[in-house]
């Protein structure tokens, strides 16, 4: 129920408060709406507030919840003692709320400071002391309604998810709350999360049957929307044990959005290499560019240089060059000076550009990142995260690092559903800025369907050559190396992908293929990526050590190819002449 | 001699003034570390005033060459003429030479500082074929922002180890309120509001902002309010605008302005 949203503008309004909430709590925190009339609460990652309250009320409710988090009031060891005791939780909130606000006083917005009751705050100096006060017999007035509520279960469930060493099931006993019905009546708000969970998971959610049902229901819904279950199935994550949380990943889209033969006329067509007949099939594949759908949950992908990629990438081609005949510079350019002197003596106006200067060679590099989002990358990799999550993090890191270095960079994701529906999703085109929207688009990508690698590479190379705008170009393919689609079986697909890479290299575009965290074996990768620079990176944090040499060798081989083809062209022209 | 009549306004937070003066008397070079807008430049100005030395400031940029610092030959008519760079001038005059944002300079440029920064206190000028001994009172000061986004430029260890380092942070709340009130000539309550807002932004360090609100931007906002702008408008143009271009982050920050700053103009 808590995710029921009334209108887009309200959602937007609340979302904007996220920065304020993060500032007040000192850690990333989002704001979402709950059903009108319910008290505000938080699960430690998101604050849920009633969108119907006025601006002042929202601010106060938000500040109280964020301050509770900042002051450590909601630490599991304290609130664990409040579980299933709503009356105690209210008494605790009444004392601890004031204490948390006082502790956070330096940061409180002015309208919130009026909430503080110093007398109550003085009763406690720590969460433990507040708990002791709440447990004592002393009289404590109910907290103001704006303080909201502490939802112990949601908090514990969320903390449990954050700490993988503890199985979540321990914190969420199935339906034990029935035993405490007497206390529940004292306070209807105390454990509202329970109701929510029963709705969303009819058999208790955490158990094996619940997971199975979730899975089945999920797939059924996919079918209802006309998607292909075979293609989408591996992409689904179950909601096992995830109660009251904010970050599920589950697919609600069909993979082949445009798999309709009638569409074959639209989009861009590319040939495909038929290895069995040793010839190209002209206009065989149709590429569609589909606008991405941003996803508002973007806490995990900041704009920082997370994996230290900037330093190795910075060393690509930033040497110093000496430039002659400059208007200003370190030294006098003797030749130019002599000429200028001669001109003066001859009576004409001299050229004043008589200096030598050493300048950094301009970075002249455009990079297009191709991100594989076929169904196979949704499988868990070696590090617990799915291959998709790791590739996505790498794509974000590359985009940010290269952009910061002043390179032209674009990021396209791809998957396919037959030769007439190869979909490329421009997450960032060359001319887009790197901002939160790009990161949200990236977060919004959902793996599904197959990968017709060759067509994606041909389109990526074409975009790079058309819009890159620099003479040095690099195509980076982030894929698990499993090229497979309808009528595109392994051997055929590998040959086509290899061919597509070779075509791009021949036109002077460097190609680099990276497999991150996937368990694809080296022979398979070699079959698909051929002689292009390719590497399997087992862990993301090893990327920064490997990436410098890989980029350099990819660029160098393209440079060599370009020189060879330029020479060949020249000699052909001479022969013709 | 110092240019200003009055001592530049600087409020010490710790023992940085004693440390600097001790280093100056011992002829040691000083590295000032800290985020942008926390008062490094103002500190050097105040020190130059106290020590009665002229201050020569060089804002370093990524095309700054050795010749820009040391000097170069120019052609005048038919003759070549040597023109001292700012570093050479400071060495000759015994001035405090302040290289602002020294990491921005190219690494081959910072090497010229080595013989100056260590016990030799000499500046070799190979184009002239001479080596200058630094005049008494010469002091090399560089500033350096460790969290600065150009990670690709870092100071060489051999450069760093020739200097002593003074770390700067944003001043504590009460000091910062005093600074903002004094610099912007606004009343203490308004300054306190701005500082509270600034502190809230500083808590966001990880959430998509590269830099946080510095004392400098808070003072700028204060100065705009002194001109009659409402605090909200002032904070939007002086704090939010400079911090980010990202529309989503901007909206979040504007929401924070609404929470922290009142709208009335007094």
Q: Which CATH number do you get for residue A454?
A: 3.40.50.410
Instruction: Based on the fold, state whether residues A431 and A343 are members of the same structural domain.
Output: no
| ipTM here | 0.77
The answer to whether residue A559 is domain-embedded is yes
Asked if B255 reaches chain A (Cβ–Cβ under 8 Å), the answer is yes
For residues A408 and A430, the answer to whether their CB atoms sit within 8 Å is yes
Q: Would you give the DSSP letter of residue A488?
A: B
When scoring A14, A20, A341 by the number of chain B Cβ atoms within 10 A, the one with the most, hence best to mutate, is A20
The answer to whether residue A40 is domain-embedded is yes
Interchain CB distance below 8 Å, A107 and B203: yes
Is the sign of the CA dihedral B178, B180, B182, B186 positive or negative?
A: negative
Mean pLDDT over residues B94-100, rounded?
Answer: 95
When scoring B259, B260, B261, B264 by the number of chain A Cβ atoms within 10 A, the one with the most, hence best to mutate, is B259
**CA–CA gap between residue B184 and residue B229 (Å, rounded):** 13
* Phi/psi at A372 (5° precision): -75, 120
Which tokens belong to A38?
């319910």
- Which chain B residues have a beta carbon less than 8 Å from that of A59? 259
Residues A38-93 have pLDDT tens digits of 888 888 888 888 888 888 888 888 899 999 998 888 888 888 888 888 888 888 99
Instruction: Based on the fold, state whether residues A422 and A540 are members of the same structural domain.
Output: yes
For A66, the enclosing helix (H) or strand (E) is helix A55-70
Give the pLDDT of residue B206.
52
**CA–CA gap between residue B6 and residue B246 (Å, rounded):** 41
| Helix segments in chain B, DSSP class H | 16-25, 40-51, 66-70, 86-93, 107-110, 114-117, 157-160, 173-184, 188-202, 215-226, 231-235, 241-243, 247-260
Instruction: Based on the fold, state whether residues A454 and A440 are members of the same structural domain.
Output: yes
Angle at A19 between CA A16 and CA A20, to 5 degrees: 95
Asked if A539 reaches chain B (Cβ–Cβ under 8 Å), the answer is no
- Which chain B residues have a beta carbon less than 8 Å from that of A360? 62-63, 106
Interchain CB distance below 8 Å, A331 and B127: yes
For residues A27 and A2, the answer to whether their CB atoms sit within 8 Å is no
B135/B149: higher pLDDT:
B135
Q: Which domain holds residue A213?
A: 201-254
Give the pLDDT of residue A305.
63
The answer to whether residue A249 is domain-embedded is yes
The answer to whether residue A2 is domain-embedded is no
Domains held by chain A: number: 4
* Phi/psi at A518 (5° precision): -90, 160
Instruction: Based on the fold, state whether residues A405 and A466 are members of the same structural domain.
Output: yes
Right CATH number for B16-167 from 3.60.15.10, 3.40.50.2300, 3.40.50.300, 1.10.443.10? 3.40.50.300
Q: B205 vs A277, A304, B155, B239, CA distance in Å?
A: 59, 11, 23, 15
Entry pTM: 0.59
B72 three-class SS: strand
**Strand A422-428 with A30-33, pairing:** unpaired
Q: How many CB atoms lie within 10 A of CB B59?
A: 12
Asked if A128 reaches chain B (Cβ–Cβ under 8 Å), the answer is no
Nearest to A247 by CA among A300, A192, A170: A300
Q: How far is A205 from chain B (nearest CA, A)?
A: 33
Asked if B63 reaches chain A (Cβ–Cβ under 8 Å), the answer is yes
**CA–CA gap between residue A287 and residue A272 (Å, rounded):** 12
Domain boundary among A191, A219, A241: A191
Q: How many CB atoms lie within 10 A of CB A384?
A: 10
**CA–CA gap between residue A81 and residue A272 (Å, rounded):** 65
Classify residue A155 as exposed, middle or buried by CB count within 10 Å of its CB (0-12, 13-18, 19+).
buried
3-state secondary structure A3-57: CCCCCHHHHHHHHHCHHHHHHHHCCCCEEEECCCCCCCEECCCEEEECCCCCHHH
Q: Chain B neighbours among A 108-127 (CB < 8 Å)? A: 108-111
Asked if B200 reaches chain A (Cβ–Cβ under 8 Å), the answer is yes
Edge-to-edge order in the sheet of strand A46-49: A30-33, A46-49, A41-42
Asked if A487 reaches chain B (Cβ–Cβ under 8 Å), the answer is no
Instruction: Based on the fold, state whether residues A213 and A302 are members of the same structural domain.
Output: no
**CA–CA gap between residue A134 and residue A98 (Å, rounded):** 13
Instruction: Based on the fold, state whether residues A410 and A372 are members of the same structural domain.
Output: yes
Mean pLDDT over residues B192-201, rounded?
Answer: 92
Interchain CB distance below 8 Å, B256 and A20: yes
For residues A341 and A368, the answer to whether their CB atoms sit within 8 Å is no
In chain A, the residue whose alpha carbon lies closest to the alpha carbon of B256 is A20
The answer to whether residue A223 is domain-embedded is yes
Residues A326-385 have pLDDT tens digits of 888 878 888 888 888 888 888 888 888 888 887 666 567 889 999 999 888 888 776 678
Give the pLDDT of residue A301.
52
**CA–CA gap between residue A403 and residue A168 (Å, rounded):** 40
Give the pLDDT of residue B69.
92
**CA–CA gap between residue A434 and residue A302 (Å, rounded):** 11
Asked if A11 reaches chain B (Cβ–Cβ under 8 Å), the answer is no
**CA–CA gap between residue A531 and residue A525 (Å, rounded):** 10
Give the pLDDT of residue A168.
37
Which tokens belong to A148?
């909201």
Q: How confident is the model at residue B177 (pLDDT cuts 50, 70, 90)?
A: very high
Given a cut of 70, is residue B157 above it in pLDDT?
Answer: yes
Instruction: Based on the fold, state whether residues A181 and A60 are members of the same structural domain.
Output: yes
Asked if A317 reaches chain B (Cβ–Cβ under 8 Å), the answer is no
B73 three-class SS: strand
* Phi/psi at A193 (5° precision): -60, -30
Instruction: Based on the fold, state whether residues A145 and A235 are members of the same structural domain.
Output: no
Give the pLDDT of residue A198.
37
Displacement of CA A58 from its chain's centroid (Å): 29
* Phi/psi at B56 (5° precision): -115, 115
Mean pLDDT over residues B14-20, rounded?
Answer: 94
Instruction: Based on the fold, state whether residues A52 and A144 are members of the same structural domain.
Output: yes
For A333, half-sphere exposure in the C-beta direction (CA atoms, 13 angstrom radius) is 20
The string of DSSP codes covering A130-196 is HHHHHHSSS--PPPPGGG----HHHHHHHHHHH-TTS-GGGGS-SSGGGGGHHHHHH-SSTTTHHHH
- Which chain A residues have a beta carbon less than 8 Å from that of B210? 303
- Interface A-B: count of C-beta contacts within 8 A: 104
Mean pLDDT over each residue of chain B, to the nearest integer: 87
Nearest to B236 by CA among B250, B216, B249, B223: B250
Asked if A305 reaches chain B (Cβ–Cβ under 8 Å), the answer is yes
The answer to whether residue A281 is domain-embedded is no
Name residues of chain A where pLDDT drops below 70.
Answer: 1-12, 159-266, 297-306, 315-321, 359-363, 382-383, 562-563
Mean pLDDT over each residue of chain A, to the nearest integer: 75
The answer to whether residue A196 is domain-embedded is no
* Phi/psi at A507 (5° precision): -85, 10
Asked if A344 reaches chain B (Cβ–Cβ under 8 Å), the answer is yes
**CA–CA gap between residue A467 and residue B205 (Å, rounded):** 35
Instruction: Based on the fold, state whether residues A144 and A94 are members of the same structural domain.
Output: yes
A477 — alpha (psi -120 to 50), left (phi > 0) or beta?
beta
Instruction: Based on the fold, state whether residues A383 and A492 are members of the same structural domain.
Output: yes
For A448, half-sphere exposure in the C-beta direction (CA atoms, 13 angstrom radius) is 25
Interchain CB distance below 8 Å, A16 and B66: no
Instruction: Based on the fold, state whether residues A495 and A375 are members of the same structural domain.
Output: yes
The string of DSSP codes covering A370-429 is EEE-SGGGGSB-TTSSBHHHHHHHHHHHHHHHHHHTT-EEEEEEEEESSTT-EEEEEEE-
């Amino acid at each position: 129920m808590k995710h029921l949203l009334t209108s887009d503008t309200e959602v937007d309004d609340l979302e904007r408060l996220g920065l304020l909430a993060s500032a007040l709590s000192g850690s990333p925190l989002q704001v979402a709406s709950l059903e009108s009339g319910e008290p505000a609460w938080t699960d430690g990652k998101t604050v849920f507030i009633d969108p119907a309250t006025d601006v002042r009320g929202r601010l106060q409710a938000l500040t109280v919840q964020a301050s509770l988090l900042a002051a450590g009031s909601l630490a599991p060891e304290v609130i664990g003692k409040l579980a299933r005791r709503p009356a105690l939780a209210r008494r605790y909130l009444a004392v601890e709320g004031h204490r948390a606000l006082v502790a956070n006083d330096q940061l409180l917005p002015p309208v919130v400071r009026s909430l503080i009751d110093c007398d109550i705050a003085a009763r406690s100096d720590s969460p433990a002391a507040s708990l002791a006060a709440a447990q004592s017999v002393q009289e404590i007035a109910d907290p103001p309604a704006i303080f909201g509520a502490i939802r112990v279960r949601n908090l514990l469930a969320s903390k449990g998810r954050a700490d993988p060493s503890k199985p979540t099931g321990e914190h969420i006993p199935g339906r034990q709350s029935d035993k405490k019905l007497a206390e529940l009546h004292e306070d209807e708000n105390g454990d509202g999360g329970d109701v929510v969970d029963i709705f969303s998971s009819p058999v208790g959610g955490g158990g094996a049957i619940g997971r199975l049902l979730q899975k089945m229901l999920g797939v059924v819904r996919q079918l209802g929307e006309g998607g292909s279950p075979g293609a989408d199935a591996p992409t689904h994550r179950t909601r096992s044990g995830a109660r009251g949380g904010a970050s599920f990943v589950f697919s609600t889209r069909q993979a082949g959005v445009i798999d309709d033969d009638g569409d074959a006329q639209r989009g861009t067509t590319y040939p495909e290499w038929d290895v069995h007949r040793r010839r190209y099939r002209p206009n065989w594949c149709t590429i569609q560019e589909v606008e991405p759908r941003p996803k508002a949950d973007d806490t995990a992908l900041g704009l920082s240089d997370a994996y230290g990629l900037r330093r190795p990438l910075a060393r690509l081609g930033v040497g110093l060059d000496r430039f002659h005949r400059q208007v200003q510079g370190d030294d006098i350019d003797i030749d130019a000076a002599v000429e200028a002197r001669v001109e003066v003596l001859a009576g004409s106006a001299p050229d004043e550009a008589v200096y030598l200067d050493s300048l950094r060679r301009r970075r002249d590099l455009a990079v297009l990142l191709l991100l594989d989002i076929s169904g196979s990358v949704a499988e868990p990799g070696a590090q617990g995260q799915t291959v998709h999550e790791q590739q996505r993090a790498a794509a974000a890191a590359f985009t940010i690092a290269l952009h910061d270095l002043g390179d032209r960079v674009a990021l396209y994701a791809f998957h396919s559903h037959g030769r007439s529906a190869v979909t490329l999703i421009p997450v960032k085109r060359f001319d887009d800025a790197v901002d939160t929207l790009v990161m949200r688009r990236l977060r919004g990508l959902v793996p599904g369907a197959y990968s017709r690698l060759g067509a994606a590479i041909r389109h990526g190379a074409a975009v790079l050559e058309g819009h890159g705008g620099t003479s040095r170009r690099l195509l980076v393919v982030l894929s698990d190396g499993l090229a497979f689609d309808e009528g595109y079986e392994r051997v055929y697909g590998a040959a086509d992908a290899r061919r597509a890479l070779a075509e791009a290299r021949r036109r002077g575009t460097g190609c680099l293929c990276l497999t991150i965290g996937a368990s694809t074996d080296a022979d398979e990768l070699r079959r698909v990526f051929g002689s292009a620079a390719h590497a399997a990176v087992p862990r993301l944090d090893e990327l920064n050590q490997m990436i410098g040499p890989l980029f350099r060798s990819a660029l160098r081989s393209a440079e060599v190819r370009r020189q060879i083809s330029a020479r060949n062209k020249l000699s052909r022209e001479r022969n013709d002449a | 001699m110092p240019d200003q009549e009055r001592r530049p306004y600087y409020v010490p937070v710790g023992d940085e003034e004693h440390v600097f003066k001790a280093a100056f008397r011992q002829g040691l070079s000083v590295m000032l570390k800290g985020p942008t807008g926390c008062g490094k430049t103002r500190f050097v100005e105040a020190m130059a005033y106290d020590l009665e030395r002229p201050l020569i400031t060089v804002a370093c940029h990524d095309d700054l060459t050795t010749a820009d610092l040391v000097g170069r030959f120019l052609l005048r008519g038919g003759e070549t003429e040597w023109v001292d760079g700012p570093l050479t001038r400071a060495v000759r005059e015994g001035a405090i030479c302040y290289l602002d944002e020294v990491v921005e300079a190219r690494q081959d440029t910072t090497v010229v500082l080595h013989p100056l920064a260590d016990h030799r206190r000499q500046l070799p000028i190979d184009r002239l074929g001479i080596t200058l001994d630094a005049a008494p009172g010469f002091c090399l000061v560089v500033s350096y922002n460790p969290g600065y986004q150009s990670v690709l430029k870092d100071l060489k260890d051999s450069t760093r180890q020739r200097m002593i380092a003074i770390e700067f942070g944003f001043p504590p709340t009460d000091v910062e309120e005093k600074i903002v009130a004094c610099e912007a000539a606004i009343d203490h309550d308004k300054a306190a509001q701005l500082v509270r807002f600034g502190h809230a932004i500083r808590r966001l360090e990880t959430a998509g902002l590269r830099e946080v609100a510095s004392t400098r931007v808070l003072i700028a906002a204060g100065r705009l309010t002194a001109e009659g702008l409402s605090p909200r408008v002032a904070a939007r143009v002086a704090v939010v605008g400079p911090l980010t271009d990202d529309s989503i982050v901007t909206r979040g920050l504007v929401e924070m302005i609404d929470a922290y700053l009142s709208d009335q103009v007094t």
